[in-house]
Amino acid sequence: MKKLICICLGIAFGILSVHAQKDEGEDNEKGFKKENLFTGGSITLSFFNGQTLLGANPVFGYKLADWADAGLAFNFIYNGARDYQVFNDKIRQTVIGPGAFVRLYPVKFLFAQAQFEHNFSTLKYIPPGGSPTEKNKADANSLLVGGGFAQGREKGSTTFYYISLLFDVLKDVNSPYVNVTYNPDNPSQQRKTLQPIIRAGINVGLFQGRYR
């Protein structure tokens, strides 16, 4: 899985770096620039169909061009839900995992984003009526696709606030971003529904100094 994340990030950096060198807003100097490094991250908040999703997504990245960023991310999520399989049951889920992302800015205040994650989950299932609690572990790939709005992003700067709306298009049954409903008469039948993922956060430029 580490190889897959590195390959995804490497392709993104390789393709976009070629275009970044041609960007008219960039200096003529080529190669790595430490002032293009940034950190920051977002918080996750989602309420959907009796389900609560809370988390944090710290990032470390590099500005490839004024219109493109890429980097690495780490994911932490707490997921709680009621009526998961039957009436009045509950789940409590904790998720951690690494990821890689790419953001493209057609204009300075709007962006499209794709983020690959591989998450490891611990799920506690609490049946109704005081039955014994069940605990399971699983892992899943997620590909989060969507877009967002950036506030305060200026040419040459990597410090700004943003909010995004993403969806996990892979729809893995073990994904923390997918709501699974089972048929009580036939548990093998299930319906997978994508949850909207709202992330609000900040991008903080490193080694950048005062805005010009």
pLDDT tens profile 130-154 = 778 889 999 999 999 999 999 999 8
Domain presence at residue 108 = yes
Domain residues for the domain of 163 are 2-205
Domain presence at residue 12 = yes
Count of domains observed in the chain: 1
Give the CA angle between residues 59, 63, 65 to the nearest 5°: 150
The answer on pLDDT for 29 being more than 70 is: no
Domain presence at residue 185 = yes
Contacts with 87 (C-beta within 8 Å, 6 or more apart), sequence order: 128
Domain presence at residue 210 = no
Q: What is the mean pLDDT of residues 77-90?
A: 82
The answer on pLDDT for 121 being more than 50 is: yes
The answer on pLDDT for 160 being more than 60 is: yes
The answer on pLDDT for 7 being more than 70 is: no
Domain presence at residue 47 = yes
Q: What is the mean pLDDT of residues 153-182?
A: 88
Q: In 3D, which of 117, 142, 40, 124 has the Cα closest to residue 78?
A: 124
User: Any idea what the CATH number is for the domain that residue 15 is in?
Assistant: 2.40.160.20
Q: In 3D, which of 55, 70, 59, 53 has the Cα closest to residue 14?
A: 70
Domain presence at residue 8 = yes
The answer on pLDDT for 195 being more than 60 is: yes
Domain presence at residue 79 = yes
Domain presence at residue 211 = no
The answer to which of 57-71, 150-164, 172-186 has the lowest mean pLDDT is 172-186
